[in-house]
Amino acid sequence: MGNKPIATICVPVYKVEAYVAECIRSIVRQDYPFLELIVVDDASPDSSMAIVKRIVAEENSRNHAVQLIELAENGGSDNARRHAVKAAQGKYLFFVDSDDYLTDTGAVTKVVAAMEQSEAPMAIFDFISGYKHRNKPFRHIAQLQGEGATAAFIDGSIPAYLWNKCFRKELFLPFTNYIGREITLWEDKNRVIPYSFLHQGICYVPGCFYHYRRYLPGALSNNPSETALRSVRLVHQNMVEFFAQHPHGVQIDAALQREAVIVKLLQYRTDHYEAFRKASEDFPISRAEAGLLKGLANAPYRLMVRFNNRGKLRAGFRVMRAVQRAKALL
Write the DSSP string, 4-42.
SPPEEEEEEESS-TTTHHHHHHHHHT---SSEEEEEEE-
pLDDT over 70, % of the chain? 73
As a whole number, mean pLDDT of residues 98-127 equals 95
**Residues in CB range of 114: below 8 A, 6 or more apart:** 123, 203, 205
Q: Provide the mean pLDDT of the chain.
A: 82
Is residue 310 pLDDT above 50, yes or no?
A: no
The total of other beta-carbon atoms located within 10 Å of residue 301's CB is 22
Is residue 145 pLDDT above 80, yes or no?
A: no
The total of other beta-carbon atoms located within 10 Å of residue 219's CB is 13
Name the segment(s) of the chain with CATH classification 3.90.550.10: 7-213
Class of the CATH-defined domain 7-213: alpha beta
Query: Each residue of 181-201: pLDDT tens digit?
Result: 778 888 999 999 999 999 998
As a whole number, mean pLDDT of residues 20-33 equals 97
CA–CA–CA angle 21, 114, 95 (5° rounding): 30
Is there a contact between 91 and 7 (Cβ–Cβ < 8 Å)? yes
Phi and psi angles of residue 136, each rounded to the nearest 5 degrees, phi first: -115, 120
Query: Each residue of 250-302: pLDDT tens digit?
Result: 999 999 998 998 888 777 765 555 666 666 667 767 667 766 766 665 544 54
As a whole number, mean pLDDT of residues 68-95 equals 95
As a whole number, mean pLDDT of residues 98-125 equals 95
Is residue 328 pLDDT above 60, yes or no?
A: no
| Euclidean distance between CA atoms 231 and 186, whole angstroms | 7
pTM of the predicted model, to two decimals? 0.85
The total of other beta-carbon atoms located within 10 Å of residue 21's CB is 18
Query: Each residue of 219-237: pLDDT tens digit?
Result: 434 446 778 788 889 999 9
Is residue 180 pLDDT above 80, yes or no?
A: no
